[in-house]
Amino acid sequence: MPAASTVIASPPPTSSAPDPQRPLIAPAPARKRDTTSLWRLRTYLYPYGARYLIMAVASVVGIGFSLLIPLLTQQVIDGPISRSDQRGLLVLGVFAVGVGIAEAVVLFLRRWIVSRANNGSERLIRTDLYTKLQSLPMSFHGRWQSGQLLSRMMTDLSIIRRFLGFGMIFLVVNVLQITVVLVLLLNLYWPLGLVVLASIVPVAWLCLTNEKKLTRLSRKIQDEQGDVASSVEEGIHGLRVIKSFGRFAHLYQGFAARTGVLYETSMDRVRVLSRFITFLEVIPTCTMILVLGFGAMATANGQLTLGTLVAFIQLLLSLIWPVAALGFLLAMTQEAMTAADRIAEVLDTENVLVDGHGEIDQPRGHLRFEGVGFRFGDADTDTLHGIDLDIAPGETLAVVGGTGSGKTTLTALVPRLVDVTAGRITLDGVDIRDLRLRHLRTLVATAFEDPTLFSMSARENLTLGRADATDAEIEEAIEVAQAHFVHDLPWGLDTRIGEQGMSLSGGQRQRLALARAVLVRPRVLVLDDTLSALDIHTEALVEEALKRVLHDVTGIVVAHRASTVMLADRVAVLSGGTVVATGTHTELLRTSREYRELMSAEFDLEAESDELRDHGPGGADRRARAEVAR
Ligand SMILES: Nc1ncnc2c1ncn2[C@@H]1O[C@H](COP(=O)(O)OP(=O)(O)OP(=O)(O)O)[C@@H](O)[C@H]1O
């Protein structure tokens, strides 16, 4: 899918100052920009079809009313005024006022009806886009800048809403008005009508020549807005790191440079647009001068009545706005087309994570990895390869390995956050790709090392995987995860936790995330180094409670510490993306050099702390008390 390749994140900057010219996304030449994307969005207008129809009719009726006024003027001048007919003047005057009021009512009706329709259409597109983003796999989100996605969800959709509610209507209305007025002008006095018609030629030429430039600049601006949004997003999320490293100036420099690039491109567009619009305003004015000159001569020669000349000029005046507005309406259309393209790039992204249809009636939790391999989309080598594991129902397997050995990737395969690229994983004998995703994720629950909490209440965060959990079940999960602190929050479980749970400590967030996973009561519980932020005392309590939970489920526990390994029945050692040894802790200590090396750091640390405890400050006292106790 070419669109996806347009948003591959660039490598991190190597120079000290970020290069503003380097876009956060690659330019998007792959997708042919045309009206198709915008046209495709028409289905979102269908639910509001009646409103859009009323709006179209109201627009046409509005044009009719506005054109009646000059024709009435002609009747007034050539009729009652030239005959000094006061009664006739009164009748036509009242009629003109009636037409004016009717036009105002129609205008109001159009505005009122359209706002609900285009806000509704925008909501429908946004909902679909959000649903699509949620359904796309982690590999997609790894490639796309979140700022780019945010700007598509917000800015691009607003552009489309403005186009639907204003640009699209006025583009149609104005072209219609220009056509009708031209016909009327030719009908009123064809030689002058031809002069006006001739002036349309340079207008059309200007529209065609500026269209390409505006399209290119619109796309550039919208992509650069996405880059700025990404910078803002990174700046806000990474605030703590930025502050702690005192790197505000460095990041500000990058941000300022990016906004500078956006400013320059926006100014380029303003320059093109202002030249374009100026010509569009000058052309009707020049035409007016010609019409006035030729019209005066024709009236003097008796070829044209005064009333017809006034009506002609009034009609011509009514063309000035529709012609001048063509410039920004065209620009708006280009923007909307670009925005629709950018939205289509997301909507058209093929979801490589295909949902299955199967369900397991009585799941036992027998998990098998059969020749499993995995390669990230843009990587040259496999991250995981040749993995064979058989985890019996109720068994807990600890996965240990050095940094970057592939532990997290392995755990992500089980709930299908990413899919295997070789081999298969089965649950109770069924390939997990054949299972309905929703079903699979009720069977497999995961708690991550870096737990994400949402800006919802603690209760909502806890019951994310199981909305129907009872209070007793919530309490049980809190007990297992030793997350009793939630009761001390100002409103207990109903306390709203800040964005990403920022108001909680790392350990508290981990415990909430663990309780959330436990509450699902899965058949397979995956814990990706979930206890890493806990102090030794809390960790021991959590591990004690986890033992009970893991007794009933199949567990995969990514472990760095020997204490966590002890939760498991068996250990698999990952190295270089494959399992190099499996066995119990004791067996592996005896047979696997790799495992001994991984664990020796842990033992060294333990020995160090024993040493400190016995021989550090107060050590003699402690030794003496221990003797007495013995
Ligand atoms: N999105 C990605 N694209 C390409 N490579 C990736 C991606 N994410 C991770 N990797 C690579 O895959 C390898 C395994 O990463 P993984 O996070 O699974 O390791 P890990 O064993 O969990 O490490 P740690 O113990 O440090 O958490 C690493 O070399 C990493 O650089």
- pLDDT tens readout for residues 466-493: 888 899 999 989 988 888 888 888 888 8
3-state secondary structure of 12: coil
Q: Is 578 in the pocket of ligand 1 (CB under 6 A)?
A: no
The residue contributing the CA closest to ligand 1 atom 29 is 404
Report whether 563 contacts 534 (CB < 8 A).
Answer: no
Distance CA 134, CA 441 (A): 14
Q: Is 308 in the pocket of ligand 1 (CB under 6 A)?
A: no
Q: Is 577 in the pocket of ligand 1 (CB under 6 A)?
A: no
Distance CA 32, CA 3 (A): 10
The residue contributing the CA closest to ligand 1 atom 4 is 376
Distance CA 369, CA 377 (A): 21
Report pLDDT digits (tens) over 76-118.
887 777 777 788 788 888 888 888 888 888 888 888 888 888 8
Element (H, E) at 337: helix 306-347
Task: Provide the CATH topology of domain 367-591.
Answer: Rossmann fold (3.40.50)
Task: Provide the CATH topology of domain 38-347.
Answer: ABC transporter transmembrane region fold (1.20.1560)
Determine the atom of ligand 1 nearest the C-alpha atom of 560.
25
Q: Is 558 left (phi over 0), alpha (psi -120 to 50) or beta?
A: beta
Q: How far is the CA of 448 from the centre of ligand 1 (A)?
A: 14
> For the sheet containing 396-401, what is the strand order?
444-447, 524-528, 554-558, 396-401, 570-575, 578-583
Q: How far is the CA of 557 from the centre of ligand 1 (A)?
A: 17
Q: Which residue out of 387, 405, 578 has the highest number of ligand 1 atoms within 8 Å of its CB and is therefore the one to mutate?
A: 405
Q: How far is the CA of 227 from the centre of ligand 1 (A)?
A: 25
Q: Which residue out of 8, 378, 408, 574 has the highest number of ligand 1 atoms within 8 Å of its CB and is therefore the one to mutate?
A: 408
Q: How far is the CA of 410 from the centre of ligand 1 (A)?
A: 10
Q: Is 142 in the pocket of ligand 1 (CB under 6 A)?
A: yes
ipTM of the complex: 0.95
Token pair listed for 207: 């529209």
Beta strand pairing call for 524-528 and 444-447: parallel
- Report pLDDT for 611: 47
The residue contributing the CA closest to ligand 1 atom 2 is 376
Determine the atom of ligand 1 nearest the C-alpha atom of 406.
18
By C-alpha distance, which of 446, 489, 476, 480 is closest to 464? 446
Q: How far is the CA of 382 from the centre of ligand 1 (A)?
A: 11
Report whether 557 contacts 396 (CB < 8 A).
Answer: yes
Q: Is 66 in the pocket of ligand 1 (CB under 6 A)?
A: no
Which amino acid is present at 35? T
Count helices and strands (H / E) in the chain.
Answer: 23, 10
Distance CA 176, CA 139 (A): 48
**Residue with tokens 């299955």, as numbered in its chain:** 356
Does the pTM exceed 0.90? no
**Residue with tokens 């028409």, as numbered in its chain:** 42
Distance CA 113, CA 56 (A): 11
Determine the atom of ligand 1 nearest the C-alpha atom of 411.
18
DSSP 572: E
Q: How far is the CA of 288 from the centre of ligand 1 (A)?
A: 70
Q: Which residue out of 409, 420, 421 has the highest number of ligand 1 atoms within 8 Å of its CB and is therefore the one to mutate?
A: 409
Q: Which residue out of 139, 376, 527 has the highest number of ligand 1 atoms within 8 Å of its CB and is therefore the one to mutate?
A: 376
Determine the atom of ligand 1 nearest the C-alpha atom of 405.
21
Q: Is 408 in the pocket of ligand 1 (CB under 6 A)?
A: yes
- CA 131 to chain CA centroid, Å, is 10
- Report pLDDT for 570: 93
3-state secondary structure of 84: coil
The residue contributing the CA closest to ligand 1 atom 17 is 408
DSSP string of 505-553, one letter each residue: -HHHHHHHHHHHHHHT--SEEEEESTTTTS-HHHHHHHHHHHHHHHHHS
Q: How far is the CA of 314 from the centre of ligand 1 (A)?
A: 72
- Report pLDDT for 618: 43
Cross-strand partners of 557: 398, 527
The residue contributing the CA closest to ligand 1 atom 26 is 403
Determine the atom of ligand 1 nearest the C-alpha atom of 410.
18
- Helix 306-347 × helix 86-135 angle, to 10°: 10
Q: How far is the CA of 34 from the centre of ligand 1 (A)?
A: 39
Token pair listed for 211: 């269209």
DSSP 29: -
Report whether 623 contacts 599 (CB < 8 A).
Answer: no
The residue contributing the CA closest to ligand 1 atom 16 is 406
**Residue with tokens 């500078």, as numbered in its chain:** 260
The residue contributing the CA closest to ligand 1 atom 5 is 376
Q: Is 244 in the pocket of ligand 1 (CB under 6 A)?
A: no
DSSP string of 165-219, one letter each residue: IIIHHHHHHHHHHHHHHHHHHHHH-HHHHHHHHHHHHHHHHHHHHHHHHHHHHHH
Q: Which residue out of 383, 418, 528, 561 has the highest number of ligand 1 atoms within 8 Å of its CB and is therefore the one to mutate?
A: 383
- Report pLDDT for 601: 58
- Report pLDDT for 529: 78
User: Which residues does the chain have with pLDDT short of 70?
Assistant: 1-35, 498-502, 533, 601-630
